[in-house]
Amino acid sequence: MSEPVNLKSTPLTDWHKQHGGKMVPFAGYEMPVQYEGVLAEHACVRDKVGLFDITHMGEIFVSGPGAETWIDGLVTNRVAGIPTGKIVYNAMCREDGGVLDDMLVYRLGDTEWMIVCNASNHAKISGWLEKNLPADGVVLDDRSDKTALIAIQGPDSRELLCRLEALAGKVSEVEALKFYTAFTLEGPAGRWIVSRTGYTGEHGYELYVPNGDAVAIWEELLARGDDLGVAPIGLAARDTLRFEVCYCLYGHELEEDITPLEAGIGWAVKLKKENFVGREALVLQKGEGVPRRILCLEITGRGIARQGARVLCEGKDVGLVTSGTYSPTLKKPLAMALVEAAVSECSEGDLAVDIRGRTIECRLVSFPFLSARTKGDPRSERTLP
Protein backbone atom coordinates (compact mmCIF):
# COMPACT_ATOMS: atom_id res chain seq x y z
CA MET A 1 0.00 0.00 0.00
CA SER A 2 1.18 3.52 -0.77
CA GLU A 3 1.84 5.88 2.09
CA PRO A 4 -0.88 8.49 2.73
CA VAL A 5 -0.11 11.91 1.33
CA ASN A 6 0.27 14.67 3.90
CA LEU A 7 -1.96 17.35 2.44
CA LYS A 8 -1.75 20.97 3.50
CA SER A 9 -4.79 22.73 4.88
CA THR A 10 -5.99 26.32 4.69
CA PRO A 11 -7.43 28.35 7.59
CA LEU A 12 -10.86 27.46 6.14
CA THR A 13 -10.40 23.69 5.75
CA ASP A 14 -12.34 22.82 8.90
CA TRP A 15 -15.13 25.19 7.88
CA HIS A 16 -15.43 23.48 4.49
CA LYS A 17 -15.69 20.05 6.11
CA GLN A 18 -18.27 21.22 8.63
CA HIS A 19 -20.46 22.79 5.94
CA GLY A 20 -20.70 20.01 3.38
CA GLY A 21 -17.66 20.67 1.23
CA LYS A 22 -16.56 17.59 -0.71
CA MET A 23 -12.81 17.58 -0.11
CA VAL A 24 -10.22 16.39 -2.63
CA PRO A 25 -6.42 16.58 -2.98
CA PHE A 26 -5.38 19.52 -5.17
CA ALA A 27 -1.86 20.85 -5.68
CA GLY A 28 -0.77 19.43 -2.33
CA TYR A 29 -3.77 20.82 -0.44
CA GLU A 30 -7.05 19.40 0.78
CA MET A 31 -9.58 21.60 -1.02
CA PRO A 32 -13.37 21.68 -1.56
CA VAL A 33 -14.31 20.58 -5.07
CA GLN A 34 -18.02 21.31 -4.57
CA TYR A 35 -20.78 21.93 -2.03
CA GLU A 36 -24.31 22.00 -3.49
CA GLY A 37 -23.16 20.91 -6.93
CA VAL A 38 -21.29 22.28 -9.93
CA LEU A 39 -24.30 23.55 -11.89
CA ALA A 40 -25.84 25.41 -8.94
CA GLU A 41 -22.50 26.89 -7.88
CA HIS A 42 -21.66 27.94 -11.44
CA ALA A 43 -25.04 29.70 -11.79
CA CYS A 44 -24.59 31.39 -8.42
CA VAL A 45 -21.43 33.14 -9.63
CA ARG A 46 -22.83 34.02 -13.06
CA ASP A 47 -26.08 35.44 -11.60
CA LYS A 48 -25.35 36.48 -7.99
CA VAL A 49 -22.12 36.16 -5.98
CA GLY A 50 -19.94 33.31 -4.74
CA LEU A 51 -16.99 32.87 -2.39
CA PHE A 52 -13.87 30.87 -3.19
CA ASP A 53 -11.13 29.72 -0.85
CA ILE A 54 -8.03 29.94 -3.06
CA THR A 55 -5.48 30.08 -0.26
CA HIS A 56 -3.49 27.39 -2.04
CA MET A 57 -2.12 30.03 -4.45
CA GLY A 58 1.45 31.22 -3.86
CA GLU A 59 2.29 34.75 -2.72
CA ILE A 60 5.94 35.75 -3.01
CA PHE A 61 6.82 39.29 -1.98
CA VAL A 62 9.78 41.03 -3.59
CA SER A 63 11.37 44.22 -2.32
CA GLY A 64 14.45 46.37 -2.74
CA PRO A 65 15.76 49.07 -5.08
CA GLY A 66 16.55 46.52 -7.79
CA ALA A 67 13.19 44.69 -7.66
CA GLU A 68 11.48 46.54 -10.51
CA THR A 69 14.19 45.93 -13.11
CA TRP A 70 14.78 42.37 -11.93
CA ILE A 71 11.13 41.30 -12.14
CA ASP A 72 10.73 43.00 -15.52
CA GLY A 73 13.58 40.85 -16.82
CA LEU A 74 11.89 37.62 -15.72
CA VAL A 75 8.36 38.12 -17.07
CA THR A 76 6.93 38.56 -20.55
CA ASN A 77 4.73 41.59 -19.91
CA ARG A 78 5.97 45.05 -19.01
CA VAL A 79 5.93 45.89 -15.29
CA ALA A 80 8.65 48.55 -15.19
CA GLY A 81 7.10 51.96 -14.68
CA ILE A 82 3.62 50.85 -13.64
CA PRO A 83 2.04 52.85 -10.79
CA THR A 84 1.54 51.61 -7.24
CA GLY A 85 -1.67 49.59 -7.05
CA LYS A 86 -1.43 48.31 -10.62
CA ILE A 87 -1.54 44.55 -11.37
CA VAL A 88 -0.17 42.96 -14.54
CA TYR A 89 -0.96 39.49 -15.90
CA ASN A 90 2.24 37.74 -16.92
CA ALA A 91 3.98 34.58 -18.00
CA MET A 92 7.37 33.51 -16.71
CA CYS A 93 9.30 31.49 -19.28
CA ARG A 94 12.32 29.28 -19.71
CA GLU A 95 15.07 30.33 -22.12
CA ASP A 96 13.37 28.30 -24.86
CA GLY A 97 10.07 30.19 -24.40
CA GLY A 98 8.22 27.40 -22.61
CA VAL A 99 5.93 28.67 -19.86
CA LEU A 100 7.00 27.98 -16.27
CA ASP A 101 3.80 29.55 -14.97
CA ASP A 102 1.32 32.34 -15.57
CA MET A 103 0.93 34.80 -12.73
CA LEU A 104 -0.10 38.20 -11.47
CA VAL A 105 2.50 40.81 -10.56
CA TYR A 106 1.34 43.50 -8.10
CA ARG A 107 3.13 46.77 -7.47
CA LEU A 108 2.48 47.51 -3.79
CA GLY A 109 4.90 50.44 -3.37
CA ASP A 110 7.95 52.14 -4.83
CA THR A 111 10.14 49.13 -4.07
CA GLU A 112 7.62 46.47 -2.98
CA TRP A 113 5.99 43.88 -5.24
CA MET A 114 3.97 40.67 -4.95
CA ILE A 115 4.08 37.74 -7.37
CA VAL A 116 1.03 35.47 -7.23
CA CYS A 117 1.67 32.07 -8.81
CA ASN A 118 -0.31 28.87 -9.22
CA ALA A 119 -0.28 26.41 -6.34
CA SER A 120 0.98 23.57 -8.52
CA ASN A 121 3.97 25.66 -9.57
CA HIS A 122 4.74 27.38 -6.27
CA ALA A 123 7.88 25.37 -5.50
CA LYS A 124 9.10 25.66 -9.09
CA ILE A 125 8.63 29.43 -9.26
CA SER A 126 10.10 29.95 -5.80
CA GLY A 127 13.16 27.97 -6.89
CA TRP A 128 13.39 29.85 -10.19
CA LEU A 129 13.35 33.20 -8.41
CA GLU A 130 16.02 32.04 -5.96
CA LYS A 131 18.16 30.74 -8.82
CA ASN A 132 17.96 34.07 -10.66
CA LEU A 133 18.25 36.30 -7.59
CA PRO A 134 20.90 39.03 -8.04
CA ALA A 135 23.71 39.41 -5.53
CA ASP A 136 22.13 42.49 -3.95
CA GLY A 137 19.26 44.96 -4.30
CA VAL A 138 16.45 42.37 -4.18
CA VAL A 139 14.92 40.53 -1.21
CA LEU A 140 12.43 37.64 -1.47
CA ASP A 141 9.84 36.92 1.21
CA ASP A 142 7.60 33.92 0.49
CA ARG A 143 4.48 34.49 2.60
CA SER A 144 2.32 31.81 0.99
CA ASP A 145 1.88 29.82 4.21
CA LYS A 146 0.95 32.98 6.11
CA THR A 147 -1.52 34.39 3.59
CA ALA A 148 -5.16 33.43 3.06
CA LEU A 149 -6.82 34.32 -0.23
CA ILE A 150 -10.59 34.70 -0.61
CA ALA A 151 -12.21 35.48 -3.96
CA ILE A 152 -15.60 37.22 -4.12
CA GLN A 153 -16.96 36.79 -7.64
CA GLY A 154 -20.20 37.63 -9.42
CA PRO A 155 -22.43 40.58 -10.38
CA ASP A 156 -23.17 41.33 -6.70
CA SER A 157 -19.55 41.07 -5.57
CA ARG A 158 -19.05 44.81 -5.10
CA GLU A 159 -22.23 45.15 -3.06
CA LEU A 160 -21.15 42.29 -0.80
CA LEU A 161 -17.54 43.41 -0.37
CA CYS A 162 -18.63 46.91 0.65
CA ARG A 163 -20.65 45.40 3.50
CA LEU A 164 -17.54 44.13 5.29
CA GLU A 165 -17.15 46.00 8.57
CA ALA A 166 -13.39 46.39 8.11
CA LEU A 167 -14.02 48.19 4.81
CA ALA A 168 -16.60 50.62 6.19
CA GLY A 169 -14.27 53.56 5.66
CA LYS A 170 -12.96 52.24 2.34
CA VAL A 171 -16.18 51.93 0.33
CA SER A 172 -15.18 54.72 -2.04
CA GLU A 173 -11.84 53.01 -2.66
CA VAL A 174 -13.57 49.72 -3.42
CA GLU A 175 -15.98 51.44 -5.81
CA ALA A 176 -13.09 53.25 -7.52
CA LEU A 177 -11.09 50.08 -8.18
CA LYS A 178 -10.64 49.38 -11.87
CA PHE A 179 -9.96 45.92 -13.23
CA TYR A 180 -6.44 44.80 -12.26
CA THR A 181 -5.86 47.40 -9.56
CA ALA A 182 -5.55 47.06 -5.77
CA PHE A 183 -5.17 48.93 -2.50
CA THR A 184 -3.97 47.96 0.98
CA LEU A 185 -5.25 48.58 4.51
CA GLU A 186 -4.59 47.36 8.03
CA GLY A 187 -6.94 44.58 9.12
CA PRO A 188 -7.36 43.02 12.58
CA ALA A 189 -4.41 40.62 12.18
CA GLY A 190 -2.27 42.62 9.76
CA ARG A 191 -2.22 44.09 6.27
CA TRP A 192 -4.94 43.28 3.76
CA ILE A 193 -4.60 43.59 -0.01
CA VAL A 194 -7.91 44.23 -1.80
CA SER A 195 -7.75 43.70 -5.56
CA ARG A 196 -10.25 43.78 -8.37
CA THR A 197 -9.20 40.50 -9.91
CA GLY A 198 -10.53 36.98 -10.40
CA TYR A 199 -10.62 34.12 -12.86
CA THR A 200 -14.34 33.60 -13.46
CA GLY A 201 -15.11 36.16 -16.15
CA GLU A 202 -17.36 38.05 -13.73
CA HIS A 203 -16.95 41.31 -11.86
CA GLY A 204 -15.04 40.29 -8.76
CA TYR A 205 -12.47 40.88 -6.06
CA GLU A 206 -9.76 39.00 -4.19
CA LEU A 207 -8.74 39.54 -0.58
CA TYR A 208 -5.21 38.67 0.56
CA VAL A 209 -5.29 38.59 4.36
CA PRO A 210 -3.32 37.09 7.26
CA ASN A 211 -4.44 33.55 8.08
CA GLY A 212 -5.83 34.75 11.39
CA ASP A 213 -8.44 36.94 9.67
CA ALA A 214 -9.70 34.36 7.16
CA VAL A 215 -12.50 32.57 9.03
CA ALA A 216 -14.02 35.77 10.41
CA ILE A 217 -14.03 37.38 6.94
CA TRP A 218 -15.51 34.29 5.30
CA GLU A 219 -18.32 33.98 7.84
CA GLU A 220 -19.07 37.70 7.79
CA LEU A 221 -19.34 37.70 3.99
CA LEU A 222 -21.73 34.76 4.09
CA ALA A 223 -23.86 36.36 6.82
CA ARG A 224 -23.99 39.82 5.23
CA GLY A 225 -24.68 38.39 1.78
CA ASP A 226 -27.57 36.12 2.71
CA ASP A 227 -30.09 38.36 0.92
CA LEU A 228 -27.84 38.36 -2.16
CA GLY A 229 -27.84 34.57 -2.37
CA VAL A 230 -24.12 34.26 -1.66
CA ALA A 231 -22.73 30.71 -1.45
CA PRO A 232 -19.36 28.96 -1.10
CA ILE A 233 -18.05 27.69 -4.43
CA GLY A 234 -15.74 24.74 -5.06
CA LEU A 235 -12.91 24.07 -7.48
CA ALA A 236 -15.13 22.31 -10.03
CA ALA A 237 -17.27 25.39 -10.71
CA ARG A 238 -14.17 27.57 -10.68
CA ASP A 239 -12.93 25.49 -13.60
CA THR A 240 -16.17 25.63 -15.61
CA LEU A 241 -16.40 29.38 -15.02
CA ARG A 242 -12.89 30.12 -16.30
CA PHE A 243 -13.37 27.66 -19.17
CA GLU A 244 -16.43 29.42 -20.58
CA VAL A 245 -14.51 32.70 -20.93
CA CYS A 246 -11.44 30.84 -22.27
CA TYR A 247 -8.99 31.78 -19.54
CA CYS A 248 -5.88 29.61 -19.71
CA LEU A 249 -5.20 27.11 -16.94
CA TYR A 250 -1.70 25.86 -16.24
CA GLY A 251 -1.48 22.14 -16.90
CA HIS A 252 -4.02 22.54 -19.69
CA GLU A 253 -3.47 25.47 -22.09
CA LEU A 254 -0.11 26.33 -20.56
CA GLU A 255 2.87 24.02 -19.97
CA GLU A 256 6.64 24.10 -20.16
CA ASP A 257 6.45 22.78 -23.72
CA ILE A 258 3.89 25.42 -24.78
CA THR A 259 4.87 29.03 -25.42
CA PRO A 260 2.64 31.99 -24.50
CA LEU A 261 2.32 32.78 -28.22
CA GLU A 262 0.90 29.31 -28.87
CA ALA A 263 -1.39 29.54 -25.84
CA GLY A 264 -3.05 32.69 -27.12
CA ILE A 265 -1.70 35.08 -24.50
CA GLY A 266 0.60 36.89 -26.89
CA TRP A 267 -1.02 40.14 -25.72
CA ALA A 268 0.89 39.59 -22.45
CA VAL A 269 4.22 39.24 -24.28
CA LYS A 270 6.04 42.50 -24.96
CA LEU A 271 8.71 41.56 -27.46
CA LYS A 272 9.75 45.22 -27.70
CA LYS A 273 11.10 45.04 -24.17
CA GLU A 274 14.88 45.16 -24.23
CA ASN A 275 15.28 41.82 -22.51
CA PHE A 276 13.50 39.09 -20.56
CA VAL A 277 14.09 35.37 -20.13
CA GLY A 278 12.78 33.57 -23.22
CA ARG A 279 12.58 36.67 -25.42
CA GLU A 280 14.98 35.47 -28.11
CA ALA A 281 13.12 32.19 -28.53
CA LEU A 282 9.76 33.97 -28.73
CA VAL A 283 11.02 36.50 -31.26
CA LEU A 284 12.29 33.62 -33.40
CA GLN A 285 9.00 31.71 -33.09
CA LYS A 286 6.95 34.74 -34.06
CA GLY A 287 9.23 35.45 -37.01
CA GLU A 288 9.01 31.89 -38.31
CA GLY A 289 5.28 31.64 -37.67
CA VAL A 290 3.70 30.27 -34.51
CA PRO A 291 3.22 26.55 -35.30
CA ARG A 292 0.32 25.83 -32.93
CA ARG A 293 -2.59 27.77 -31.55
CA ILE A 294 -5.48 27.43 -29.15
CA LEU A 295 -8.84 27.15 -30.92
CA CYS A 296 -12.40 26.88 -29.62
CA LEU A 297 -14.54 23.90 -30.58
CA GLU A 298 -18.21 23.03 -30.25
CA ILE A 299 -18.82 19.29 -30.13
CA THR A 300 -21.73 18.77 -32.49
CA GLY A 301 -21.88 15.00 -32.10
CA ARG A 302 -22.75 13.11 -28.92
CA GLY A 303 -20.03 13.23 -26.27
CA ILE A 304 -17.76 15.49 -24.27
CA ALA A 305 -14.16 15.90 -25.36
CA ARG A 306 -11.96 15.91 -22.26
CA GLN A 307 -8.34 16.96 -21.94
CA GLY A 308 -6.09 14.79 -24.07
CA ALA A 309 -8.67 13.87 -26.71
CA ARG A 310 -7.11 14.04 -30.17
CA VAL A 311 -8.33 16.55 -32.74
CA LEU A 312 -8.67 15.34 -36.33
CA CYS A 313 -8.80 17.29 -39.59
CA GLU A 314 -9.73 15.16 -42.60
CA GLY A 315 -8.81 12.18 -40.44
CA LYS A 316 -5.32 13.47 -39.66
CA ASP A 317 -4.22 13.99 -36.05
CA VAL A 318 -3.60 17.73 -35.75
CA GLY A 319 -3.53 18.34 -31.99
CA LEU A 320 -5.29 17.72 -28.73
CA VAL A 321 -8.00 19.05 -26.47
CA THR A 322 -6.57 21.04 -23.56
CA SER A 323 -9.86 21.65 -21.71
CA GLY A 324 -13.32 20.30 -22.44
CA THR A 325 -16.62 20.10 -20.62
CA TYR A 326 -20.34 20.81 -20.82
CA SER A 327 -20.95 24.55 -20.60
CA PRO A 328 -23.55 25.25 -17.87
CA THR A 329 -24.30 28.69 -19.32
CA LEU A 330 -24.38 27.85 -23.04
CA LYS A 331 -25.75 24.35 -22.42
CA LYS A 332 -23.59 22.54 -24.95
CA PRO A 333 -20.31 20.57 -24.93
CA LEU A 334 -17.33 22.74 -25.78
CA ALA A 335 -13.56 22.36 -25.89
CA MET A 336 -10.37 24.34 -26.16
CA ALA A 337 -7.68 22.64 -28.22
CA LEU A 338 -4.01 23.18 -29.03
CA VAL A 339 -3.70 22.37 -32.72
CA GLU A 340 -1.59 22.99 -35.80
CA ALA A 341 -2.05 26.59 -36.93
CA ALA A 342 -3.47 25.52 -40.30
CA VAL A 343 -6.47 23.87 -38.62
CA SER A 344 -8.25 27.24 -38.61
CA GLU A 345 -8.73 26.66 -42.37
CA CYS A 346 -10.18 23.16 -41.94
CA SER A 347 -13.68 22.81 -43.42
CA GLU A 348 -16.45 22.32 -40.86
CA GLY A 349 -17.42 18.85 -42.04
CA ASP A 350 -13.80 17.67 -41.89
CA LEU A 351 -13.18 18.47 -38.21
CA ALA A 352 -13.63 15.90 -35.45
CA VAL A 353 -12.37 14.73 -32.07
CA ASP A 354 -11.50 11.21 -31.02
CA ILE A 355 -13.43 10.45 -27.81
CA ARG A 356 -12.34 7.06 -26.46
CA GLY A 357 -11.97 5.62 -29.96
CA ARG A 358 -15.12 7.23 -31.37
CA THR A 359 -14.82 9.92 -34.04
CA ILE A 360 -17.18 12.74 -33.06
CA GLU A 361 -17.90 15.73 -35.28
CA CYS A 362 -17.12 19.24 -34.07
CA ARG A 363 -16.87 22.73 -35.48
CA LEU A 364 -14.78 25.83 -34.90
CA VAL A 365 -16.46 28.61 -32.95
CA SER A 366 -15.40 32.14 -32.05
CA PHE A 367 -13.06 32.90 -29.15
CA PRO A 368 -14.12 33.19 -26.37
CA PHE A 369 -17.18 31.03 -25.85
CA LEU A 370 -18.61 33.64 -23.48
CA SER A 371 -17.58 37.28 -23.11
CA ALA A 372 -16.17 38.32 -19.74
CA ARG A 373 -17.97 40.91 -17.59
CA THR A 374 -14.94 42.34 -15.81
CA LYS A 375 -15.22 46.02 -16.64
CA GLY A 376 -17.75 48.72 -15.86
CA ASP A 377 -21.16 47.82 -14.51
CA PRO A 378 -21.14 44.43 -12.73
CA ARG A 379 -24.47 43.63 -14.35
CA SER A 380 -23.61 44.84 -17.82
CA GLU A 381 -25.38 42.85 -20.48
CA ARG A 382 -23.61 39.85 -21.92
CA THR A 383 -24.31 38.79 -25.46
CA LEU A 384 -24.59 35.03 -25.75
CA PRO A 385 -23.35 33.37 -28.94
For residue range 176-190, what is the model confidence (pLDDT) as tens digits? Answer: 999 999 999 999 999
- Segments making up each domain of the chain, as ranges: 1-288, 291-385
Report the CATH superfamily, name and number, of domain 1-288: Probable tRNA modification gtpase trme; domain 1 (3.30.1360.120)
**Common-topology check for domains 1-288 and 291-385:** no
pLDDT of 2 higher than 60 = no
pLDDT of 382 higher than 80 = no
What's the pLDDT tens digit per position in 192-207?
Answer: 999 999 999 999 999 9
Instruction: Measure the CA–CA gap between 335 and 91, rounded to whole angstroms.
Output: 23
Instruction: Measure the CA–CA gap between 320 and 331, rounded to whole angstroms.
Output: 22
What's the pLDDT tens digit per position in 21-37?
Answer: 999 999 999 999 999 99
Arithmetic mean of pLDDT over the chain: 96
Do 94 and 285 meet the contact criterion of CB atoms below 8 Å apart? no
Average pLDDT over residues 254-272: 97
Topology of domain 291-385, CATH = Elongation Factor Tu (Ef-tu); domain 3 (2.40.30)
Percentage of the chain surpassing pLDDT 70? 98
